[in-house]
Amino acid sequence: MKNKDQNIAAKQHIDDLIIQAPVAIGFLKGPDLIIESANTNILELWEKQTDIIGWPLALILKPDDVKLVWDAYKSGHIHYGYETPIWLNRNGHINLFYFDFVYQPVKDNDNNIIGVMVVATEVTKQVIARQLLEDAEERLRLAIEATGIGNWDLDLVNNDVIASPTLSVIFGLDPDESVTHMELRGMIHPDDKSLVNDAYKKAIKAGVYSYEARIVWTDGSIHWIRTTGKILYDALHKPVRMLGTTHDITKRKQEEIMKNDFIAMASHELKTPLTSLKAYTQLLVSKAQKAGDDFFISALEKSENQINKMSRLIHGFLDMSKIESGKLKLNIQSFDMNELVVEIMADKVLIAPDHVLSFKSKQSIQITADREKIAQVISNFISNAVKYSPKGSAITIVVKKHNEDLKVSVKDAGIGLKKSDQQTVFQRFYRVEDESTRGLSGFGIGLYLSAEIIRLHHGKIAVESEEGKGSEFYFLLPLETGEGQPA
Ligand code: ADP
């Protein structure tokens, strides 16, 4: 008697739990799937009242829905239903809601199936949020397609790629046919393959993919592409996917190549007459010196200065065109950095007599690098320091060891640079155009060339500066031979 009371109490307790559960729960007993218990939430889904308790499920649900429950009963296997849409009248409004269903066969102590437990969880919010996200993605995809940019999604585990039709068009392929990652990679121009491989390796480490390269279409024609991508990681920070865009930059590249060829040709043509102009001027200077004509000496020296300025500019343009076409090569040798700085300063003191140049170094440091090109960088830093700081102010050059690197810095007390300009000054043709630089001429290629020279040496170039107070331009070169040394 006591046992029976306990059983009744236990059943009552379970029924209460089911009634109060925040999810929809019902229990269907036996092969006829008799509704034995159903909480308020499931009654709402079925749009019924408690009077259905004791009815077979087939009396209240459609045959297809009953079949799913019956299958679970008969097979003994749990059945899941995801995001099932159901129209419900809630608070007087009929709307569409979404539910995840679980049909769990229930067994007795002898392992016989005695019924099916139905549990439904509402997932309307999640489904709507996902649909909104999918809509936004679709709109973005359409917008990207409209701009002629191809987009792709690369699975980094099995190398599968999902490519937009525009990507296929950029590669000269049929937009209706699917492409493989290998196929796309195989179309990269042989000379640019290592560049793309390096960009890929870098992306796996740093998370960002970016390169400009040539591709060869199946008809043999060559096209330029620009690709950028971003790596997505799993919870263990393992790279799993890469999303990116690719666009055709053939037209821009052709224009750049034409411009570059023109600059190279014009600079080359100007070099010869300028060299003879310089030789004649020097001849005239020595003649004027012999004749003791001070006016001619001074005028001709000024001419020579201007010729030197022009010659530096032309060499700068030639170097720039070499960089653009990847033809700037380093001539590596071992040399003493202090000796080099002293040589450069001897020249600079002459052309900047109104500035106070000083050089600090505690020890002599040997470095393996292109002496002439490094000289060009230091000389550019000093010329800029002179140009962008007031007469009479100090310019300090420091050479020292900095961890594993050699650091060369040039500090001035000049106009300084805004934070926003500190990165951009190293870009080609970039010049700060404001009150402070008015009247100071230049082409904005000196720092670009310096940055490229340091990049070729696997070094680092940067500036620390405060507007109105001054700047410190510096570069670091790796001291150790082996990895990190210039090729
Ligand atoms: P250029 O001096 O011929 O314009 P650079 O490439 O050498 O070309 O310099 C780019 C720009 O960086 C300059 O136009 C100037 O605005 C800024 N800049 C360079 N050096 C300094 C400096 N020491 N102080 C302040 N601004 C500088």
Helix (H, G, I), strand (E, B) or coil at 75: helix
**Per-domain residue ranges of the chain:** 2-124, 147-248, 253-324, 332-478
CATH number for the domain whose boundaries are 253-324 = 1.10.287
DSSP code of residue 224: E
Superfamily of domain 332-478: Histidine kinase-like ATPase, C-terminal domain (3.30.565.10)
Distance 224 CA to ligand 1 centre (A): 32
> What is the mean predicted confidence (pLDDT) over 414-423?
93
Residue closest via CA to ligand 1's atom 3 equals: 442
pLDDT of 1 over the 70 cut? no
Integer Rg of the chain from CA: 38
Residue pair 400/416 in contact (Cβ under 8 Å)? The answer is no
Ligand 1 atom index nearest CA of 410: 23
CA-based angle 196:209:137, to the nearest 5?
Answer: 130
CA dist., res. 186 & res. 216, Å (int): 9
CA dist., res. 154 & res. 54, Å (int): 55
Strands 356-361 and 394-402: parallel
Element spanning 470, H or E: strand 470-478
> What is the mean predicted confidence (pLDDT) over 118-122?
93
Distance 444 CA to ligand 1 centre (A): 7
> What is the mean predicted confidence (pLDDT) over 118-125?
93
Note the pLDDT of residue 181: 93
Note the pLDDT of residue 3: 65
Note the pLDDT of residue 2: 59
With tokens 């799913």, the residue in question is: 68
pLDDT of 264 over the 80 cut? yes
pLDDT tens-place string over residues 312-346: 889 888 888 888 888 888 999 999 999 999 999 99
Query: Tell me: domain 147-248, CATH 3.30.450.20, correct?
Result: yes
CA dist., res. 448 & res. 428, Å (int): 5
Distance 430 CA to ligand 1 centre (A): 8
Helix (H, G, I), strand (E, B) or coil at 115: strand
pLDDT tens-place string over residues 44-94: 888 889 999 999 999 998 898 899 899 999 999 999 989 988 887 777 888
CA-based angle 199:201:202, to the nearest 5?
Answer: 60
pLDDT of 436 over the 70 cut? yes
pLDDT tens-place string over residues 464-484: 999 999 999 999 999 964 444
Element spanning 162, H or E: strand 161-163
Nearest CA to 166 out of 156, 180, 152 is that of: 152
Residue closest via CA to ligand 1's atom 23 equals: 385
Q: What lines the ligand 1 site, CB under 6 Å?
A: 380, 384-385, 388, 412, 414-417, 425, 430-432, 437, 442-448, 471
Q: Find the Cα–Cα–Cα–Cα dihedral 278, 279, 281, 283, rounded to 10°.
A: 160
CA dist., res. 157 & res. 233, Å (int): 11
CA dist., res. 42 & res. 50, Å (int): 10
Pocket test for ligand 1, best of 313, 396, 409, 431 (most atoms within 8 A of CB): 431
Ligand 1 atom index nearest CA of 445: 6
Note the pLDDT of residue 144: 78
pLDDT of 366 over the 90 cut? yes
Please, what is the average pLDDT of the chain? 90
User: E strands within 304-421?
Assistant: 332-336, 356-361, 366-370, 394-402, 405-412
Element spanning 257, H or E: helix 250-291
Distance 386 CA to ligand 1 centre (A): 10
Distance 358 CA to ligand 1 centre (A): 21
Note the pLDDT of residue 421: 93
User: Mind giving me the DSSP string for 264-332?
Assistant: HHHHHHHHHHHHHHHHHHHHHHHHHHHHT-HHHHHHHHHHHHHHHHHHHHHHHHHHHHHHHTT-----E
CA dist., res. 229 & res. 215, Å (int): 18
The CATH class of 2-124 is alpha beta
Ligand 1 atom index nearest CA of 448: 6
Pocket test for ligand 1, best of 376, 384, 397, 421 (most atoms within 8 A of CB): 384
Asked whether this chain's domains 147-248 and 253-324 adopt the same fold, the reply is no
Note the pLDDT of residue 59: 92
Note the pLDDT of residue 256: 87
Distance 426 CA to ligand 1 centre (A): 9
With tokens 């392992």, the residue in question is: 111
Ligand 1 atom index nearest CA of 433: 16
Q: Is 148 exposed, middle or buried (0-12, 13-18, 19+ CB in 10 A)?
A: exposed
Positive or negative, the CA dihedral 416, 419, 422, 424 is negative
Distance 431 CA to ligand 1 centre (A): 6
> What is the mean predicted confidence (pLDDT) over 142-165?
89
Distance 384 CA to ligand 1 centre (A): 6
Residue closest via CA to ligand 1's atom 7 equals: 446
Residue 86, φ and ψ in degrees, nearest 5: -140, 130
Residue closest via CA to ligand 1's atom 13 equals: 431
Helix (H, G, I), strand (E, B) or coil at 445: coil
